[in-house]
Amino acid sequence: MLVLLQVVAVAAFAPLVQGSMKRLRANLQGRPGPSPFQPYRDLAKLWAKEALQPKGISPLPLIAPGVVLGVALTFAAALPLVAAPGGLDPVVDIIALAFLLALGRFLLALAALDTRSAFAGMAASREMTFASLVEPTLLLALLGGAMLGGGTKLSLLLTAPFGLAAALAFAAFFLVLLAETARIPIDNQETHYELTMIHEGLVLEYSGWQLAMLQFAEQVRQLSFFVLAAILLPGGAAWWMHLPWIIVLVGAIGVTETMFAKLRLFEVPQVLTTAFILAATSIVLRVLGMPV
Amino acid sequence: MLRLAGIIATAAIALTAGCFAILGLAFSQHGVFPLGTLAGPIPILTLVLGVTPLAAPFCAILAMLGTAIAIWSTQRGKPIDMVLIAAFMAAMLLVLVARSVALFFVAWEAMSLISALLVASHHERRGVRRATFVYLVVAQIGALCVLAALGLLAIQASNPSFAAIARAAANLSPGTRNAVFVLALLGFGSKAGLVPLHFWLPRAHPVAPAGASALLSGAMLKIALYGLLLVTFELAAPGPISWGIATIVIGVLSALAGVIYALVDHDLKRLLAYHSVENIGIVVIGIGVALVGQAIGNPALAALGLVAALFHAINHGLFKALLFLGAGVVADEEGTVDLERLGGLWGSLVWTAPLFLIGCAAITGLPPFNGFVSEWLTFQSLVAGVLAGDETIKLVLLSAIAGLALTGGLAAVCFVKVFGVVFLGSARCRTQPRPVERFGGSTLAMGLLAALCTLLGLIPMLAVAPLARIAGAVLGALPIATPSLPVLPATLAILPLAGALFAVALAARRGVRAVPTWTCASPVTPSAQYTATAFSKPARTIFSFVLLPERHRQYEFATRWFPQRIVYHTESRYLIDEISRSVAAVTLRIARRSRAMQSGSLRLYVAYALVALIVTVALAR
């Protein structure tokens, strides 16, 4: 039951986090910006609208939004929050989580290719390629802390002490998070120019209630990533520290998005490689038991 | 008639293989189940047959693939191929039950030669003859290494039966042991397609008929791995830790090289062959963990690695056969396997397309299919190895974790490309619609394989529990417990599946209005779709240091400023080809120089022989 509560809580706050980030970014850029609650209204409006879709040859574009939402909710259920040590934590470990995220991405990319749009194909190619570079970093950044506790469970992250190695792991994870949540400097959620889109290009052909499902899934996935990042920060083991750390993360991303421009496409791999080196250094320090 | 005979023979061999698998499993606590001994004229030629627990999973692969291919062949393929396939199956089964050096080697050679006949099936094409030649050369050099390794062991044990060799294994000197390992790695590794001896595989596998490609990739590569397991865990066991580390490094390199080359390849069958290199690499990583576990005295870790390796071997057999058979249907129906000329096949191949999708999901390691479970187990074995090993092992296994994660990600890119370009969107070259595919023998065969992929994914314990018993019999310990495994795939799948059903139900209730695709107001044409070359462009750029891509662009101008046509051609060079080409060049140069010594005069050659004799005698004294 607790795990259900956890999913509901993450799902309920996910649009608010998205809205706050948008508002903060607007304010930092000297614009008033929409209310933090705007995403709720957007979702409600989209949900009520009819869905338009180019007729795909397969049912994949039809089922993809549902699968992506299912993946996001499973991710939220697997977080080691109130539900630890019960819930999904004994079953869904860090490695399974990486495979799970791949499932949603795979279907969405296929759905994009079925639309016959060159923009969607381009986005699918970029999203999949960058995701493949992110995956090793994601695993190493999370596994380091868990392996100190002797396993691969997400809840073991709660027991890992904070130090230099943990800070490196967090830095790597932060870059992973920017990539996974389609943030500047890696991607840009707000772009209206098809050629620069990565993630938004994938969902270009979705509208109405189908788009609502996809946007909601993105928000849930984003908040789940934030929670994992908060757990990696000092004191992240305590549940009451999550909220302040998430607020700090929202601020940090807002500042990052304001200070940096989107990188040229082929400079993104360099950022991802940097993240990988940070994660690798961190896990080597930890696994070899260096006193840091 | 010929076809029927072939199908019945294949089915019978598959049935026998199935019985052997059950026998091997049932007798796993008692070691070998003897099938018979045939005394030869001299002791070295004694033939011993028996089913070991280690051979049981490989017999199971033969049983499942044999059945599927027998069903498949009721509808497709040439009759003569079916007879060859039956003989090929028989040779592979004989390798698995051979328990003496002579029989093993004869069966091994039979397997190589019959498979070469299958590769040469379309010998009227020049490229096919070339591929067959390369395959035969590598197969024969590999076979010589295998013979040398087994011969060395038989001489040390002064007995050609595997049982005696295994008993004498404890007395091997480290030098001999390592020599045997290196020879076995060369011999079996080249057959399995491990980097850098993989280069024959992407040439030979795609040119064979579909059923044969499925067996070559799905089964024969596993037989080679069985050979490696046989030598490292029975005949020359136990090995030092360096064996495990060398195996893991080769495994990671194979996995990465396989997937990177697959990513930029646009011939459906050759691309699948490269993925075989990748997946064999993943299996070999598991074998390496097992060797490390054995060397550091942690049999539970060794058993976990072995279970992961065996399970992935079975899984790869299933989904790779499924994909090759699917590619066979595409080749039959469309007359090409060039990705750039296909597209939109979901519309006509209504059975093949969804089954092929299951194969793609399984090979990518997506839950809840079988590939996910065995890759997850491989990761678990690596993590357990990092926790148990010393500094060197920790670093090697951590690199393996990173390499395996990258492999998984790149495999996903590749199979999105394959499935999206071949089956989704609209046809790129064809204009008139094709007839809709009917359910028949070939679809039934693929359906069987897809059902097995799903079943072993959803209920992994069906395979993991017997494999754990086999690992226990081979290594004397049960694998490290993975308590979450029985429910893991279902847990991951339930919400996405519910979501999919929800989305479909909602679409049925509320309706989705069909509109044209948004292409910035330009007309939607099939040629505007993203191509496979375009799809793999980012990866080609990122991995250009391995792929060494070459681009050719040609502009045809109608007016001075605006090109009417742009011809774009890109090709990857193969590092291994470049290296072998330079080796060949050096060899030829040396040969040309040494021509000075070759006058063709008989007296001179006699003199050479005499000098050589004197030098040898002088050195020997």
Domain ranges of chain B: 1-234, 575-620
Predicted confidence at residue A84, as pLDDT, reads 53
Q: Of B333, B336, B362, which is closest to residue B348 (Cα–Cα)? A: B333
CB contact under 8 Å between B529 and A116, yes or no, is yes
Cα B232 from Cα B184, distance rounded (Å) = 9
Q: Give the distance from residue A118's alpha carbon to the nearest chain B alpha carbon, in angstroms.
A: 5
CB contact under 8 Å between A147 and B387, yes or no, is yes
Predicted confidence at residue B562, as pLDDT, reads 81
Lowest-confidence range among A134-148, B361-375, B607-621? B607-621
CB contact under 8 Å between A151 and B416, yes or no, is no
Lowest-confidence range among A29-33, B68-72, B118-122, B599-603? B599-603
Residue of B nearest to A105 (CA): B412
Predicted confidence at residue A86, as pLDDT, reads 62
The tens digit of pLDDT for each residue in B314-346 reads 999 999 999 999 999 999 999 899 999 998 999
Q: Of B203, B208, B192, B197, which is closest to residue B117 (Cα–Cα)? A: B208
A–B interface: beta-carbon pairs under 8 A = 267
Which chain A residues are Cβ-neighbours of B367 within 8 angstroms?
96, 99-100, 103
Collapse the DSSP code of A36 into the 3-class scheme (helix H, G, I; strand E, B; otherwise coil) and give the result: coil
Name the residue facing B495 among A73, A136, A194 (closest C-beta).
Answer: A73
Name the residue facing A99 among B372, B387, B410 (closest C-beta).
Answer: B372
Q: Give the distance from residue B218's alpha carbon to the nearest chain A alpha carbon, in angstroms.
A: 24
Whether residue B273 has pLDDT greater than 90:
yes
ipTM above 0.85, yes or no: yes
**Predicted confidence band of residue A82 (pLDDT cuts 50, 70, 90):** low
Residue of B nearest to A66 (CA): B499
- Is A15 or A186 the better-scoring residue by pLDDT? A15
CB contact under 8 Å between B346 and A284, yes or no, is no
A positions 44-83 inside 8 Å of B (CB): 50-60, 62-71, 73-74, 77
HEC profile of A228-244: HHHHHCCCCCCHHHHHH
Cα B61 from Cα B398, distance rounded (Å) = 31
Whether residue B455 has pLDDT greater than 80:
yes
Structure tokens at B476: 């004397």
Cα B185 from Cα B245, distance rounded (Å) = 13
Which chain A residues are Cβ-neighbours of B426 within 8 angstroms?
57, 116
**Predicted confidence band of residue A167 (pLDDT cuts 50, 70, 90):** very high
Whether residue B411 has pLDDT greater than 80:
yes
Q: Give the distance from residue B489's alpha carbon to the nearest chain A alpha carbon, in angstroms.
A: 9
CB contact under 8 Å between A59 and B529, yes or no, is no
Q: Give the distance from residue A27's alpha carbon to the nearest chain B alpha carbon, in angstroms.
A: 32
Cα A277 from Cα A169, distance rounded (Å) = 10
Residue of B nearest to A194 (CA): B520
Interface test with A, best of B260, B301, B401 (most A CBs within 10 A): B401
Cα A278 from Cα A232, distance rounded (Å) = 14
Name the residue facing A52 among B361, B376, B513 (closest C-beta).
Answer: B513
Cβ neighbours for B256, distance < 8 A, ≥ 6 positions apart: B278, B281, B403, B406, B407, B410
**Predicted confidence band of residue A85 (pLDDT cuts 50, 70, 90):** low
Q: What is the DSSP letter of A19?
A: H
Is residue B517 left, alpha or beta, with left meaning phi > 0 and alpha meaning psi from -120 to 50?
Answer: beta
Whether residue B431 has pLDDT greater than 80:
no
Residue of B nearest to A210 (CA): B503
Interior CA angle at B105 toward B100 and B111, to 5°?
125
Predicted confidence at residue B57, as pLDDT, reads 96
Predicted confidence at residue B377, as pLDDT, reads 96
Return the bridge partners of B513, or none.
A52
Which chain B residues are Cβ-neighbours of A120 within 8 angstroms?
530
HEC profile of B292-357: HHHHCCCHHHHHHHHHHHHHHHHHHHHHHHHHHHHHHHHHHHHCCCEHHHCCCHHHCCCCHHHHHH
CB contact under 8 Å between A136 and B405, yes or no, is yes
Cα A133 from Cα A130, distance rounded (Å) = 5
Predicted confidence at residue A240, as pLDDT, reads 84
Cα B392 from Cα A110, distance rounded (Å) = 41
Q: What mean pLDDT is predicted for residues B247-255? A: 97
Q: What is the mean pLDDT of chain A?
A: 91
CB contact under 8 Å between B510 and A209, yes or no, is yes
Cα B129 from Cα B483, distance rounded (Å) = 51
Which chain B residues are Cβ-neighbours of A216 within 8 angstroms?
none
Q: What mean pLDDT is predicted for residues B179-207? A: 93
Predicted confidence at residue B34, as pLDDT, reads 85
Collapse the DSSP code of A54 into the 3-class scheme (helix H, G, I; strand E, B; otherwise coil) and give the result: strand
Which chain B residues are Cβ-neighbours of A50 within 8 angstroms?
510-513
Predicted confidence at residue B179, as pLDDT, reads 95
- % of chain B surpassing 90 pLDDT: 70
Name the residue facing A66 among B416, B503, B535 (closest C-beta).
Answer: B503
Whether residue B245 has pLDDT greater than 80:
yes
Q: What is the mean pLDDT of chain B?
A: 92
**Predicted confidence band of residue A74 (pLDDT cuts 50, 70, 90):** very high
CB contact under 8 Å between B380 and A150, yes or no, is no
Structure tokens at B186: 């060369």
The tens digit of pLDDT for each residue in A208-232 reads 999 999 999 999 999 999 999 999 9
Helix runs in chain A, H state only:
2-28, 38-48, 60-78, 94-114, 118-148, 164-180, 199-202, 208-232, 239-259, 268-287
Q: Of B99, B60, B26, which is closest to residue B469 (Cα–Cα)? A: B26
Cα B25 from Cα B18, distance rounded (Å) = 11
**Predicted confidence band of residue B163 (pLDDT cuts 50, 70, 90):** very high
**Predicted confidence band of residue B2 (pLDDT cuts 50, 70, 90):** confident
CB contact under 8 Å between A106 and B524, yes or no, is no
- Is A156 or A81 the better-scoring residue by pLDDT? A156
**Predicted confidence band of residue B553 (pLDDT cuts 50, 70, 90):** confident
CB contact under 8 Å between B380 and A152, yes or no, is yes
Q: Are B542 and A125 in contact (CB under 8 A)?
A: no
CB contact under 8 Å between A116 and B524, yes or no, is yes
Strand B563-572 relative to strand B512-515: parallel, antiparallel, unpaired?
unpaired
Cα B533 from Cα B540, distance rounded (Å) = 9
Cβ neighbours for A209, distance < 8 A, ≥ 6 positions apart: A46, A47, A48, A49, A50, A51, B506, B510
The tens digit of pLDDT for each residue in B530-544 reads 999 999 999 999 998
**Predicted confidence band of residue B42 (pLDDT cuts 50, 70, 90):** confident
**Predicted confidence band of residue A292 (pLDDT cuts 50, 70, 90):** low
